[in-house]
Structure 1
Amino acid sequence: MKKTILTLSLSFLFISLFGQQKTYDLIISHAKVLDVKTGNIAANRTILIWKGKIEAVISEGSAKYKARKVINAQGKLVTPGFIDTHIHPTDVFGDYKKAPAFLAKDSLKILRKKLSDEYLPFGTTTVLTMGQPENWLDPLLKWQKYPQADYVDLFIAGGALISKEKRVPYIGHTTVETAEAAKQKVKEYYNKGIKRIKLYYRLQSPEFISAYKTADSLGMGIYGHIGDFSSDYLTINQTLDIGLINYEHVVTIPNAIITSDKDKNLLADQFKERFGELNTEARYLECYLEQFRYIYECKLPELESFINKLVQNKVTFSTTIHRVYEQFQPTYYSKPNDTLLTAAQTKRCLENFGILMECIKIMHDKGIEIRLGSDGPNGGKINISELILLCKYGFSAAEAFKIATINGAKAMKISDQVGTVESGKQANLLIWDEDPFIDYNNFSKKKTVIKDGEVFKKLTI
């Protein structure tokens, strides 16, 4: 009898201790959840969030759960937050000429909020820096090490590394004078807790190879802005042979194809005839686009061969298409930068941009992973602008979401943490008031931003 009573008492104790229903931090009910990997949308889903992470995504009505906060999505689309794989804090805290020499300790909270306000209100929850002054690293590393729901998640790439030369380095670029110095600099970054490195096109072969091999041996993410109008530096083809796979800015591709003096001279004459001297930043950006026309008219077999090589090497590229588009066309939030273009020049730029976008679509369709990379002030707005541009020029909304989320997460080696709406992932989510699948212009419309399982206090417009 006593044994029976003891057994019943233990059973009731077990039920009372372990049978109580968990109270979740946040539940999102009646949601349409996008699988960015496949493009499929699952309706009538409930997302259970606990301690900043997604614990489960279940069918609506399969069970009842309690939560401190419940959001009824009312059938609205829910997607992962955006990931921007190419930002510069200097664009937020100043510029190449006016950025502060150091980040003052008593200003760090304000600066962190300023950086986050460029991205979070617009749905970008994760960013990767691609160059910053060396003496900014310690405070930036603290932001990376201690993420918070109120701030954008920041990951740091060391560099950008360049070789010693007569030109004054841009702010945010770091000079390594020898191959050994490049090796030691990469090790220094790694020991600081920086697991990614950016190699800039102004890095000569000995320093490039040393930095790449050192970073690769340490398992670091390696990114390269390779290819420019000068023939004094390594090409994309050369760095592919070294092993680089993550590249910045799709517009650099023509410099891997237009390599002979004959082609360069013909292109220069073609550009000068229609646009004048190549003497301003706007003209350089417009010349990038003119290169695509030249390739399509004169070097199409070479382009096809090059794209196939990129596919074979499983390359990724950041976008940065807004930056060239905004030179000659308005976006959802900005006016054209180059006010000196004639109607004929604007028309030609628009045609050239269409060729660029056709090239990007071919790359994407062949399996090259394109990822967002704003590379400018107003990065969160730029990300939205780029998604609109992608859809305007032939990408589906599903493809745009993949570019904005999981592709960036994979390139940053954090796809186990973010980039999809799945169990175990960080609860960085967007609830869309108006569905971009219905109209891609809805990318710029209101959305609820959830960061680390907490509702961000602003609504983006």
Structure 2
Amino acid sequence: MQYDLAIKNATVLIVETGEQKEQQNILITDGKIVKITDQKNFKSKQEIDAQGKLVTPGFIDTHIHPTDVFGDYDEAPLYIPKDSVENYRQQLSREYLPYGITTALMMGHPENWLDDIIQWKDGNSRYTDFLTCGGALISKEEREPYIGHLTVDSENSAKEKVIEYHHKGLEHIKVYHRLREPEFSAVIKTADSLNMKVFGHIGDFDPKRLSIQQTLEKGLKNYEHIATLPYSIIRTESEWEKFDTHFESLFGRANTLEKVLMMFLEAFRYIDENKTDDINELIKQLGQNNTTFSTTLGLIHRQFKSSHYFPLSENSLSKEQIERSKANFEIMMRYLKRMSESGIPIRIATDSKFGGKTLLTELKILSDYGFSTQEIFKISTLNGAQAIGLGKEIGSIEKGKTANIIIWDKSPFDNSENYFSEKTIIKNGTRLN
């Protein structure tokens, strides 16, 4: 048999265990991994000599917004012109694929885009595979919804929207913290009956909205953004007022993006000092209910510290506030580590305009705060694949899986700065660079 591509002399990472198998040959045909062997007697149309370098699966970003890339909420188009669909796909992919992100899940965009982008999961070797949740579902409110949100105004309309998305071929649904009852339960029950995966951004400044504990009881399994965790602990109006007063005494009003983000971090310190039993119980419940939780670390981190791609920019934070926020971030990361160690699969979710740069930054952040390289690769590959229901197709280098592969010039196992090193990207069995 002649294979399409052979990656020779590779050090293959087994992401489930962290084992590195040396002198392996990855044999690929029709975009799939056919065989992984140390035998030398094979024929292939093309060969790449990895020269002993580390070879890992492609990254999976489980939370992106194309509106960020196409102009944010103010400037993103309501429609994608028919003659520009390919250009938009190329523009979006440029933010992800060169950095090793071979699969990403869109968590909200204008519904008018749906018919044009639903096929962007087709395995084209030139682009990242983009899956979509359609519009992020919210209940009816007086204010206008954001461009990526979609209002369902009754239990029946929520059910019908999920069924409509299922008929269109969607396999994922996004619920936002502005989705209330009875719409929330209707979405969960309908999606579950159709074997669709539901992801929820739960937790808000308003304690009247649903908490993580309440949504666990209703069957939600996948949660967005570790920073939201404390807002399901600070639940009563009196306690919220107490915390709000506490935050304003240190930071002033949360009237800028950086102060809103620092408020999330200060909430971690608040519960760490005042409600440790409650957060420990919540983490226990999350583990018992087989949930997953996403990261979204980069946007917060760059408000108070520079990194490889993101210099520290001027903002409204004082030197004292920055130092306090650094300490608060460390508290948040300690809880994230505890969640991971308790068996809750953590997955990467950049939620950022600069998706690929942010993902690599998040890997470095995880390393800086005590996650092992083995854990980090599992978080950024297999955990995400399993959460989005594609664990049998992507997320690890195994026979029968899609050949989405990264060959590293320098191994992150040697130095965490090497996450930013040069990489050779293989997408669906095709070398891109």
Partner of 1:125: 102
Helix, strand or coil at the partner of 1:158 = coil
Distance in 1 (CA, whole Å) between partners of 2:339 and 2:187 is: 28
Give the residue type in structure 1 aligned to 2:321. Q
Give the residue type in structure 2 aligned to 1:320. T
Partner of 2:62: 85
Distance in 2 (CA, whole Å) between partners of 1:316 and 1:442 is: 27
Partner of 2:408: 432
Distance in 2 (CA, whole Å) between partners of 1:268 and 1:230 is: 12
Partner of 1:180: 156
TM-score, normalised to structure 1's length?
Answer: 0.93
Give the residue type in structure 1 aligned to 2:41. K
Distance in 1 (CA, whole Å) between partners of 2:256 and 2:319 is: 19
Partner of 1:104: 81
Helix, strand or coil at the partner of 1:41 = strand
Match of 1:347 among 300, 319, 323: 323
Partner of 2:114: 137
Distance in 2 (CA, whole Å) between partners of 1:101 and 1:266 is: 41
Partner of 1:55: 34
Q: How does 1:234-273 map to 2 (within 5 A)?
A: 234-273=210-249
How far off its partner does 1:262 sit?
3.5
Helix, strand or coil at the partner of 1:78 = strand
Helix, strand or coil at the partner of 2:119 = helix
How far off its partner does 1:108 sit?
1.1
Partner of 1:35: 14
Partner of 1:362: 338
Match of 2:194 among 174, 197, 218: 218
Partner of 2:380: 404
Distance in 1 (CA, whole Å) between partners of 2:88 and 2:243 is: 44
Distance in 2 (CA, whole Å) between partners of 1:211 and 1:376 is: 26
Helix, strand or coil at the partner of 1:166 = coil
Deviations 1:305-334 (CA, angstroms, capped at 9, x unpaired):
111111101110110011111111112111
Deviations 1:335-394 (CA, angstroms, capped at 9, x unpaired):
234522211111001000000000000000000000000101010111100000000000
Deviations 1:23-65 (CA, angstroms, capped at 9, x unpaired):
2111011110001111111111110011101001111xx2411
Give the residue type in structure 2 aligned to 1:46. N
Distance in 2 (CA, whole Å) between partners of 1:317 and 1:348 is: 25
Unaligned runs of 5+ in 2: none
Q: How does 1:289-308 map to 2 (within 5 A)?
A: 289-308=265-284
TM-score, normalised to structure 2's length?
Answer: 0.98
1:328·1:338 contact (CA, 8 Å) conserved in 2? Answer: no
Helix, strand or coil at the partner of 1:148 = coil
Partner of 1:94: 71
Distance in 1 (CA, whole Å) between partners of 2:314 and 2:147 is: 24
Match of 2:45 among 65, 68, 76: 68
Give the residue type in structure 1 aligned to 2:252. G
How far off its partner does 1:441 sit?
1.2
Give the residue type in structure 1 aligned to 2:85. L
Deviations 1:106-136 (CA, angstroms, capped at 9, x unpaired):
1111111111100000010000000010110
Helix, strand or coil at the partner of 1:25 = strand
Deviations 1:284-310 (CA, angstroms, capped at 9, x unpaired):
111000000001111111111111111
Helix, strand or coil at the partner of 1:228 = coil
Give the residue type in structure 1 aligned to 2:29. W
1:282·1:338 contact (CA, 8 Å) conserved in 2? Answer: no
Query: Whose radius of gyration is greater, 1 or 2?
Result: 1
Distance in 1 (CA, whole Å) between partners of 2:40 and 2:369 is: 43
Distance in 2 (CA, whole Å) between partners of 1:302 and 1:207 is: 28
Give the residue type in structure 2 aligned to 1:185. K
Distance in 2 (CA, whole Å) between partners of 1:239 and 1:411 is: 17
Distance in 2 (CA, whole Å) between partners of 1:137 and 1:158 is: 6
Stretches of 4+ aligned residues off by more than 4 angstroms: none
1:223·1:245 contact (CA, 8 Å) conserved in 2? Answer: yes
Helix, strand or coil at the partner of 1:205 = coil
2:256·2:316 contact (CA, 8 Å) conserved in 1? Answer: no
Partner of 1:23: 2
How far off its partner does 1:175 sit?
0.4
2:28·2:34 contact (CA, 8 Å) conserved in 1? Answer: yes
The alignment status of 1:231 with 2:232, answered yes or no, reads no
Give the residue type in structure 1 aligned to 2:82. K
Distance in 2 (CA, whole Å) between partners of 1:250 and 1:109 is: 34
Partner of 2:178: 202
The alignment status of 1:275 with 2:251, answered yes or no, reads yes
The alignment status of 1:316 with 2:292, answered yes or no, reads yes
1:88·1:130 contact (CA, 8 Å) conserved in 2? Answer: yes
Helix, strand or coil at the partner of 1:188 = helix
Distance in 2 (CA, whole Å) between partners of 1:350 and 1:223 is: 29
Distance in 2 (CA, whole Å) between partners of 1:266 and 1:298 is: 12
Give the % identical residues: 47
Give the residue type in structure 2 aligned to 1:228. D
Give the residue type in structure 2 aligned to 1:100. P
C-alpha RMSD of matched pairs (Å): 1.0
Distance in 2 (CA, whole Å) between partners of 1:408 and 1:151 is: 18
Partner of 2:312: 336
